[in-house]
Amino acid sequence: MKRNRVSIKDISKALGLSNTTISFILNGKAEEMRISAQVTERVLAYVKEVGYTPNYLARGLVTGKTNTIGFIVENIGNPFFSQIASLIEEQAYKGGYKIIYSSTNGQSDKALELIRMFRDRGVDGYIICPTEKLEEEISQLKEENRPVVLFDRFLPAIDSHYIGIDNEQAMYEACKHLVERNRKNIALITTDSRQTQMISRLEGYKRLIKERKLNEYILSIPYENRKERLQSDFEDFIKKYPKLDGICFATNYLAVGGLEVMRNLGLKIPSKIAVVAFDDNEVLRLFQPGITAVEQPLEEMAKLIIDRLLVDLKLGKSAEKTIHKEIPTRLIVRESTGN
Amino acid sequence: MKRNRVSIKDISKALGLSNTTISFILNGKAEEMRISAQVTERVLAYVKEVGYTPNYLARGLVTGKTNTIGFIVENIGNPFFSQIASLIEEQAYKGGYKIIYSSTNGQSDKALELIRMFRDRGVDGYIICPTEKLEEEISQLKEENRPVVLFDRFLPAIDSHYIGIDNEQAMYEACKHLVERNRKNIALITTDSRQTQMISRLEGYKRLIKERKLNEYILSIPYENRKERLQSDFEDFIKKYPKLDGICFATNYLAVGGLEVMRNLGLKIPSKIAVVAFDDNEVLRLFQPGITAVEQPLEEMAKLIIDRLLVDLKLGKSAEKTIHKEIPTRLIVRESTGN
DNA sequence: CTGAAAGCGCTTACAG
DNA sequence: CTGAAAGCGCTTACAG
């Protein structure tokens, strides 16, 4: 299987040099080690000729580095995650790193298992969209000086790097936009999750409602069976509150499912109910009418995440000061909020 | 960094046994090697106590196995790829394998680089959505007995496993559906790509057109600058052929972009032009009117891909007989093709 | 300027 | 039933 692969030993034997010399040259330490230009040249030429490539496993065993980043998302099938994955991959690639990814589907036990698996495989750093109950494991990573960046949501109990958006403000502005479009009875459709990003969005909604002295209408859909529950619970909710004239969906799949329900009910958007969604995507853009949405700056997030991780990776450990960055979002106004 | 990790050596020392014994027990070979139940128990208990986990790098170096599968897609940000990725990951996970993925963005040089990088990292098998010019590299993998499964498209010049859909028939039926809805002037919007799946779709279209003695209208959009080109070229195309009453989009992003253009032009679907898209997704389902689409059986594909790969992985090489499987698709009829 | 040697953490013939 | 030893392919003090 790998017998045909050339190793450093083969090269040193063929050229009558030592492994050390070959290794130094291969790692660009020729000058530093003051190896003669001729030798260097001869080795490089031979390496090229036989098409040698290093065995990263062996290198990793010695150096403890694999140039791999473990990337843990909730579900790679969700467009938010797949798009940011695509951008992160691109950025990581530029920095010489590869990505191993896996999805937790929101389950803590799966997440825990993944972190451990990644560790056993010697990934150099972690990008994690955390589930609940990961505090201990992530603290441990930090203690072991393994760089970690959380994104999308964070764990309040522990001090670690976090890149996300300003969820509270984003939702506040989304709802404010509805008020400005003369909506008085604004509902928030959210999940029952205790994740920080969802809580912040809820708070943004509440702040606006309180500030404007409006009535609060909140529907919380359990993550389990979310598809069916969204159908039934949301329909009941709408029927229960016929006065509703504005709706904010707190995350992408709620908007997609909710819009379908609204269409089936024959609710006119925006004349009867104005709609704002969180997390822009093609569905919202092409929906008729186009749906006003909070856009997350994916590219910027991806860049910040990788930059932060690369710095720590170079340091060989997490920076003393953890960063906690909440990027502002942009509200893309479309027809669903009238004019 | 890893000093604090327990190794087999630590265990054998602590327990007064040899590395061999520990290794055998850890690898479930205790019975086979007739190691006493007491010793086994003692070791297992200790391993649990200290929380030992094996170093996969070291294991990989010796065994040549890493339990990792390299997954090469065109672009993980494309919903087709992200969804199948999600399913493949799930299936692979069940079989004890992890996925490393990366995107080629359709570039052969990137694809080549990725395959080599994966090889250097010792992945056990490959799932590849190939670009052009990969024949040599993939043949080489096969020679080295590294299992490979191609998907979505294949390379006619080489004999390797392939899982895909029956593109020719799928497109034939999509167009036939338009004919049955009394459309006479049916266009195909496709890409200039020479990829097998696109060629087959083109052939399916041509077969139908020929069979029904209709006029051929084909617009081919270059992959480069596809967004802009779709806008301009498609608009010109529609204006040039005012008689068009049916359109087939040959792949997902063409449909999404094309529908937007059609909307901006105020073209009525389906009264003026009926539309069929290839590769179903939420955008098509929620578009107004709902867009009739060819659905790819993603779950089935994912399962076939992984099953095939796991068999070969167990064999330690590609099976003698390569399989070339084209799964039938399903046409989901919605309002965009009238009734 | 270059090399001999130890060691990363594991597996596996071989030996008893 | 269990162990000593070699080896996977690399890096890196240490020595000269």
**Chain A 60..89 CB hits on strand C (< 7 A):** 61-62
> What's the token pair of residue A316?
């060989």
For chain B positions 245-284, those within 8 Å of chain A (CB to CB) are 256, 259-260, 263, 282-283
Q: Is A79 on the interface with B (CB under 8 A)?
A: yes
Nucleotide nearest the Cα atom of A21 (by C1'): C2
* Helices marked H in chain B: 8-15, 19-26, 37-50, 56-63, 79-94, 108-120, 135-143, 167-180, 196-211, 226-240, 252-265, 282-286, 298-315
Nucleotide nearest the Cα atom of A62 (by C1'): C8
Res B4: pLDDT? 58
Residues B318-329: b if buried by 16+ CB within 10 A, e if exposed: beeebeebbeeb
Which one is the CATH code of B167-296+331-337: 3.30.1280.10, 3.40.50.2300, 1.10.10.10, 3.40.50.720? 3.40.50.2300
pLDDT band at A199 (very low <50, low <70, confident <90, very high): very high
Q: Is A37 on the interface with B (CB under 8 A)?
A: no
Q: Are B312 and B319 in contact (CB under 8 A)?
A: yes
Give distance CA A51 / C1' C6 (Å).
28
Q: Over range B23-42, report the average pLDDT.
A: 88
pLDDT band at B143 (very low <50, low <70, confident <90, very high): confident
Give distance CA A2 / C1' D7 (Å).
14
B3 pLDDT above the threshold of 80: no
Q: Are B103 and B76 in contact (CB under 8 A)?
A: yes
pLDDT tens-digit profile of A241-265?
A: 999 999 999 999 999 999 999 999 9
Nearest CB partner across the interface for B86, out of A64, A77, A119: A77
pLDDT tens-digit profile of B207-248?
A: 999 999 999 999 999 988 888 999 999 999 999 999 999 999
B272 pLDDT above the threshold of 80: yes
Q: Check if B8-54 and B167-296+331-337 are the same fold.
A: no
Nearest CB partner across the interface for B100, out of A87, A100, A116: A100
Output the CATH code of domain A65-165+299-327: 3.40.50.2300
pLDDT tens-digit profile of B106-135?
A: 999 989 988 988 888 889 999 999 999 999
Bridge partner list, B164: B326
Output the CATH code of domain B66-165+299-327: 3.40.50.2300
For chain B positions 211-250, those within 8 Å of chain A (CB to CB) are none
Nearest CB partner across the interface for B98, out of A60, A66, A117: A117
pLDDT tens-digit profile of A91-114?
A: 998 888 988 888 898 999 989 988
More confident residue, A316 or A314: A314
Res A3: pLDDT? 41
Report the CATH architecture of A8-54.
Orthogonal Bundle (1.10)
Hey, are the CB atoms on B144 and A4 less than 8 Å from each other?
Answer: yes
Beta-carbon pairs below 8 A across chains A and B: 140
**Residue ranges of domains in chain B:** 8-54, 66-165+299-327, 167-296+331-337
